[in-house]
Structure 1
């Protein structure tokens, strides 16, 4: 099986390959990168005027299966990923049951193999049932195929348990992904503590609840030598903390999501529960701090925290609706619109944060467009404008505050192992 991608604008931020080139994928691998390639037996994609790069890697998604299939399944989540240009996703373990045993890891991998072809990398739980009481068997989870550990959604509150988890994870070459919030300070509140929470007369989630935990994880990473990754960083001070510890040589990385460098807490006033996410949307100063962290390299990766919910759940009052938004099908376009077309970042830097960097943090061999690498490719038009219509999503979830927004940048093809898994209509 051969696929020839012709005359695309190739961007490989790692190898430095660039310019208008052809890519030949044969037997699932990148076979040749060059100019004016000829291969009569190959299926051809005309990529003139389009960007060609390694398939996107999302290190933070919620596929909801098992246990919450009414929100999303592995099959529908993979279809959404393909439509968004993602060829690999890492799924969080907060399912029912939690992915806290080798059997659960194997279940996710088996179901993913039955989906559209997008590569799914399970993340195992830090603690059994994500209850923060007893640690999981990190060695067994890794042997079954888990690529990292996290209790995302139920952040580990016990510092001693987290320290022990880091020591074990370090021993087995696993990164721990931490959702940083002090549970006693946030108590499932709906909005950021500040001007909007006061206007709505609601108790808010204070920024310091995140920042305290980021500082704790940074100190534990320094003390144990383990690799710690901060999930969905959302405040300017959190970014500053990570920046400071990185300069000290600590193994700490972090991600943010498109909502945290585009939207502010004001969205709650017009979008209501659709703008309820966790951590919450913050202030304009925090958005600027996150953008600065992306620009200077403090923030390593852009992830989606794709969190589908049913329409009925999101129709509840703000204080009762679940937190989260879908993001797989809008992430690249939102990022291009707000970072590339605004002049904040170049395409190469954006692609690195959505391909190679997350792959390196998870220690998976993805995110490169190079000879011999898997033929996982996204082809997109960075200029095409389109309007977000959630009814066209492949995901079961329609919960996005970007509904109706005009974005610039559209995925045209997604290729996994040389097979086209998504083609724009």
Structure 2
């Protein structure tokens, strides 16, 4: 048995913060209370620490195989574990791209012995931007997330088709809302992609996930879409909360979509 003492437990039902003990037996939480006594348990003193459920990170760049100088499965998983992540989904920005069953299994071979759960997404288009992949074969091979990572789905017909596939199978379609060739001249253009995808999904009803939303105007549109009960989820990143392009005009930064 394992007893975690005096941890700050995240509880959204209470505004005040109370420390709790957590009793774990064979990997299963058996009891949570303000005071637990168990003489035969190993004790971890967690005063000043926060206890949270295992975090799921759905957007991770492990970069192996092909780009090991940027990251490896081992280094990425260790970093995730140290931050409380117990499950993650790796993006398809590796070489070879997991756009075929053969490539998918090859990429997965680097993830066979990890201390946390690792899922591998597959690309929607060949090598992230070409013709459509065979999503059915990739799904049957084990992939449950489809995304072009840092590139949008260019063709409207491809986006509609993968959303229909999502509705049929339950896979997640994760979109990168950006038009890169316009961003430098027109500013952030994520709204155009978001509007297209959400309007398509109003009719289709697939599992659409919009990654790293960066504009307040995007949330205005998405609030209206939510009122119409259109199916989608969204995420954002800390730098889109705290920085603006005006504040970084002389900075040397590069993120996608841009600040």
TM-score (norm 1): 0.56
**CA RMSD, 1 decimal:** 2.4
Aligned equivalent of 1:269: 250
Aligned equivalent of 2:159: 162
The CA deviation string for residues 309-328 of structure 1, in whole angstroms up to 9 with x for no partner, is xxxxxxxxxxxxxxxxxxxx
The CA distance in 1 between the partners of 2:69 and 2:221, in whole Å, is 38
1:87 aligns with 2:86: yes
The one of the two structures with greater contact order (alpha-carbon pairs below 8 A, sep at least 6) is 1
8 Å CA contact 1:11–1:19 kept in 2: the answer is no
Query: CA 1:123–1:13 in structure 2 vs 1: closer, same or farther (change >3 Å)?
Result: farther
The CA distance in 1 between the partners of 2:13 and 2:160, in whole Å, is 33
Count of residue pairs the alignment pairs up: 257
The CA distance in 1 between the partners of 2:101 and 2:11, in whole Å, is 35
8 Å CA contact 1:231–1:255 kept in 2: the answer is yes
Aligned equivalent of 1:69: 68
The CA deviation string for residues 42-92 of structure 1, in whole angstroms up to 9 with x for no partner, is 332111232211122221111111111111001101111123332222111
Which consecutive residues of structure 2, in runs of 5 or more, have no partner in the other structure? none
The CA deviation string for residues 294-353 of structure 1, in whole angstroms up to 9 with x for no partner, is xxxxxxxxxxxxxxxxxxxxxxxxxxxxxxxxxxxxxxxxxxxxxxxxxxxxxxxxxxxx
TM-score (norm 2): 0.89
Deviation at 1:104?
A: 4.1
- Match of 1:269, SS? coil
8 Å CA contact 1:11–1:51 kept in 2: the answer is yes
The CA distance in 1 between the partners of 2:230 and 2:3, in whole Å, is 43
Aligned equivalent of 1:182: 179
8 Å CA contact 1:177–1:231 kept in 2: the answer is yes
Aligned equivalent of 2:198: 218
Aligned equivalent of 1:130: 128
Query: CA 1:57–1:268 in structure 2 vs 1: closer, same or farther (change >3 Å)?
Result: farther
Of residues 69-78 and 32-41 in structure 1, the stretch that sits farther from structure 2 once superposed is 32-41
1:141 aligns with 2:122: no
8 Å CA contact 1:92–1:123 kept in 2: the answer is yes
The CA distance in 2 between the partners of 1:39 and 1:126, in whole Å, is 52
Query: CA 1:142–1:268 in structure 2 vs 1: closer, same or farther (change >3 Å)?
Result: farther
Query: CA 1:140–1:80 in structure 2 vs 1: closer, same or farther (change >3 Å)?
Result: same
Query: CA 1:102–1:13 in structure 2 vs 1: closer, same or farther (change >3 Å)?
Result: farther
8 Å CA contact 2:151–2:178 kept in 1: the answer is no
The CA deviation string for residues 337-396 of structure 1, in whole angstroms up to 9 with x for no partner, is xxxxxxxxxxxxxxxxxxxxxxxxxxxxxxxxxxxxxxxxxxxxxxxxxxxxxxxxxxxx
Deviation at 1:12?
A: 4.1
8 Å CA contact 1:242–1:252 kept in 2: the answer is no
- Match of 1:164, SS? helix
1:192-207 → structure 2 map (5 Å cutoff)? 203-204=184-185, 206-207=187-188
The CA distance in 1 between the partners of 2:258 and 2:213, in whole Å, is 10
Residue of 205, 210, 215 corresponding to 1:230: 210
Deviation at 1:14?
A: 8.2
1:253-292 → structure 2 map (5 Å cutoff)? 253-265=233-245, 266-267=247-248, 269-270=250-251, 272=252, 275-281=253-259
